[in-house]
């Protein structure tokens, strides 16, 4: 622990205190947004936004008093997903014909005019496979990026075509979590809410007010907010020698980044306005900006367990679930930080300062702690925004990031998905506890039967099948192995990480894997089109990743909704002396153990072939890593 600095410990303490302080206020606010009949209305916001809410229902012909069963709710959810995917796909494909005053020419267009070589896409057109994967990626709240955003997309595509998903995909996750909560709380009914009402209220009362306030804070902390074209600047020659590799002009990105970053962070979306994402000084200009982003993207997912406790009239149980997440967060963060702070023995042998031996791929202004903590936090959750190159992390730090996703992202987790997947593990834990003592398992007075266990099993099994199946395909096919940045265990980890991220709807990437390779001839030279532009090569990875994300999203949402419908129909009996306790250390330890064991048993072989093997090669051999 020699290189785990005091400033790092102080920042960790401040983060944990902030996380604890925002939990209860956000939980109460979520209760008023999602189930206003339980705890009053929205106060002044009701007066301001109430007319907009009622007008929305009137225009959409939605009866806010009408309740849906779980199948009707699922159909409405799938309809929204299909429509938004098709809409954003169409807008991406038409990006090059949208008037420039709306589109604001992207960097590819400027580089084309400047006759700078190496720009794919014919300076503005978005090819079908990238439009499709990005539409699926944003609609599933994965936010995987197979493109350079400032190079590929215009301001219109960034704010409208992508931005609509920042609200809707996040709202869907919260809505499904609320449905499962209602399923536990309600008795002998098939009514679990109205999808269109939940979607409207989450957007109007949760996202819009918070995003407006936070966007103003973004501007105050230095994040740009404009609709200007990109700035072209003459580079500063820092040597007397004439450069043959560096351009004499630099194109500097501009755009409405503050408005983009607010819903991106609140909704755990994560895609960068720039390719550098949160390592870019425009998107993450200071330590204060980074701390506020951490607080914002943890706010809703930290408040959801408290909301759950209030809904079931057992706040202590909600706090126990929160504590499981909290202590697992601390444990995973410390492991990631510890291994990232340890010097690479092969580099220290070469005389490199141990304190800075692991700075490759990191911003100097962030350092070891902020890079490691951020990488861990965005894989414990589904934020998916990078502030360092995950491909450059030490093998055991990479192990921890993968394991965070393999545990189902339940350590606060995705927006909404963190809570409902945690509740799935709670049901599995209660079921196992019942089997061990030889009695019918029950949870909060409701019997856990075979149908409930099948719903839980389907969700957990699909995480494994989706991840491992696509990883195996990628490792056997040339389109997978030919595009890794490294050979051996690290190359395997790059493919494994990509599909783990896709299944978990996380969106982070190791970075060494080339998602959208350029086409080359037999001599390795780039193939160009009639206009002299390089063209893309095999797009198979993008198609497989798109379906990986769709499976990871909807094969979790639908079993969760089915489980909610089954639970809502049950009647609750009073707890007895034989009921499994849902408060206290026994409950917390059992649930945490089930999460870790399920993750370990499912994915340990892949982790052993990737980061674990690479770690032992690094510390036990003389191979330079």
What tens digit of pLDDT does each residue of 463-494 get?
A: 999 999 999 999 999 999 988 988 899 999 99
Contact criterion met (CB below 8 Å) for 444 and 582: yes
Q: Given the structure tokens 């499904």, which residue do they identify?
A: 176
CA distance 447 to 539: 48
Parallel, antiparallel or unpaired: strands 442-443 and 446-447: antiparallel
The helix (H) or strand (E) run that includes residue 566 is helix 540-569
Integer Cα distance of 349 and 358 in angstroms: 14
Q: Mind spelling out the 3-state secondary structure of 489-511?
A: HHHHHHHHHHHHHHHCCCCCCCC
| Residue segments in the chain with a per-residue pLDDT below the cut of 50 | 113-123
- Residue 123 confidence (pLDDT): 45
Q: Which of 602, 293, 323 is nearest to 463 (CA)?
A: 602
Per DSSP, the three-state class of 26 is helix
Q: Is the Cβ–Cβ distance between 22 and 296 less than 8 Å? A: no
Burial class of 564 by CB neighbour count within 10 A (0 to 12, 13 to 18, 19+): buried
For residues 567 and 452, is the Cβ–Cβ distance under 8 A?
Answer: yes
- Contact yes or no for 30/304 (Cβ under 8 A): yes
pLDDT given at position 95: 86
Please report, for the chain, the start and end positions of each structural domain, with discontinuous segments joined by +: 6-233+252-620
pLDDT at 301: 96
User: What pLDDT does 120 receive?
Assistant: 45
pLDDT at 121: 44
Q: What are 528-584's pLDDT values in tens digits? A: 767 666 678 889 999 999 999 999 999 999 999 999 999 999 988 877 777 788 999
Whole-angstrom CA distances from 557 to 62, 424, 548 are 23, 12, 14
Supply the pLDDT for residue 243.
Answer: 61
Distances (CA, A) of 459 to 172, 271, 568, 604: 17, 26, 19, 19
User: Of 122, 121, 120, 146, which is closest to residue 132 (Cα–Cα)?
Assistant: 146
Q: How far is CA 340 from CA 8, 123, 401, in A?
A: 12, 40, 12
Phi, psi of 386 (to 5 degrees): -95, 140
Q: Residue 513 gets which letter from DSSP?
A: S
pLDDT at 2: 67
Report strand pairing: 442-443 vs 249-252.
unpaired
Distance CA 336, CA 370 (A): 11
Question: What are 337-377's pLDDT values in tens digits?
Answer: 999 998 888 888 888 887 777 888 888 889 999 999 999 99
Q: What are phi and psi of 252, to 5 degrees?
A: -105, 125
How many residues can be counted in the chain? 625
Instruction: Measure the CA–CA gap between 133 and 89, rounded to whole angstroms.
Output: 9
């Amino acid at each position: 622990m020699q290189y785990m600095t005091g400033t790092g410990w102080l920042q960790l303490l401040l983060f944990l205190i902030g996380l604890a302080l925002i939990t209860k206020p956000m939980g109460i606010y979520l209760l008023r947004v999602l189930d206003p009949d339980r705890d009053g209305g929205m106060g002044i916001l009701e007066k301001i936004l109430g007319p907009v809410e009622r007008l929305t229902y009137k225009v959409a012909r939605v009866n806010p008093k009408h309740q849906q069963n779980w199948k009707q709710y699922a159909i409405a959810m799938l309809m929204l997903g299909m429509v938004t995917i098709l809409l954003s796909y169409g807008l991406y494909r038409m990006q090059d014909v949208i008037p420039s005053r709306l589109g604001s020419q992207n960097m590819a267009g400027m580089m084309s005019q400047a006759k700078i070589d190496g720009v794919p896409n014919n300076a503005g057109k978005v090819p079908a496979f990238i439009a499709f994967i990005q539409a699926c990626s944003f609609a599933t709240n994965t936010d995987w990026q197979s493109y350079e955003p400032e190079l590929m997309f215009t301001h219109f595509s960034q704010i409208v075509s992508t931005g609509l998903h920042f609200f809707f995909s996040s709202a869907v996750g919260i809505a499904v979590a609320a449905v499962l909560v209602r399923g536990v709380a309600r008795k002998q009914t098939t009514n679990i809410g109205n999808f269109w009402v939940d979607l409207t209220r989450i957007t109007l009362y949760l996202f819009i007010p918070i995003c407006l306030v936070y966007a103003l804070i973004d501007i105050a902390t230095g994040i740009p907010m404009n609709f200007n074209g990109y700035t072209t600047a003459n580079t500063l020659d820092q040597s007397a020698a004439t450069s043959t590799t560096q351009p004499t002009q630099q194109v500097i990105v501009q755009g409405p980044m503050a408005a983009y970053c607010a819903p991106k962070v609140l909704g755990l979306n994560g895609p960068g306005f720039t390719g550098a994402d949160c390592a870019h000084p425009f998107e993450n200009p200071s330590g204060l900006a980074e701390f506020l982003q951490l607080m914002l993207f943890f706010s809703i997912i930290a408040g959801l367990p408290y909301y759950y406790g209030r809904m079931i009239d057992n706040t202590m149980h909600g706090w126990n679930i929160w504590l499981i997440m909290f202590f697992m967060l601390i444990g995973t963060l410390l492991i990631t930080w510890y291994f990232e702070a340890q010097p690479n023995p092969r580099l220290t042998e070469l005389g490199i300062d141990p304190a800075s031996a692991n700075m490759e791929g990191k911003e100097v202004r962030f350092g070891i702690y902020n890079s490691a903590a951020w990488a861990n936090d965005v894989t414990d959750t589904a934020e998916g925004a990078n502030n360092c190159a995950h491909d450059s992390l030490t093998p055991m730090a990479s192990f921890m990031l993968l394991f965070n996703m393999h545990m189902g992202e339940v350590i606060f987790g995705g927006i909404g998905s963190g809570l409902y997947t945690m509740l799935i593990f709670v049901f599995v834990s209660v079921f196992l506890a019942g089997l061990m003592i030889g009695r019918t398992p029950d949870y909060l007075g409701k019997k856990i039967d075979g149908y409930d266990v099948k719903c839980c099993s389907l969700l957990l099994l699909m995480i494994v099948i989706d991840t491992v199946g696509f990883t195996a395909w990628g490792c056997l096919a040339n389109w997978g192995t030919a595009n890794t940045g490294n050979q051996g265990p690290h190359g395997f980890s790059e493919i494994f990480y990509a599909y783990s991220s896709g299944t978990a709807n996380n969106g982070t990437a190791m970075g060494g894997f080339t998602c959208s390779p350029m086409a080359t001839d037999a001599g390795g030279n780039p193939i160009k089109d009639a206009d002299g532009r390089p063209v893309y090569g095999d797009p198979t990875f993008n198609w497989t990743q798109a379906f990986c994300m769709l499976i990871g999203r909807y094969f979790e949402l639908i079993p969760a909704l089915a489980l909610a419908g089954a639970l809502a129909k049950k009647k609750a009996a009073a707890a007895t002396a034989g009921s499994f306790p849902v408060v206290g250390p026994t409950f917390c330890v059992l649930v945490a153990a089930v999460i870790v064991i399920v993750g370990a048993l499912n994915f340990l072989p892949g982790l052993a072939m990737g980061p674990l093997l690479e770690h032992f090669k690094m510390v036990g051999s003389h191979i330079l890593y």
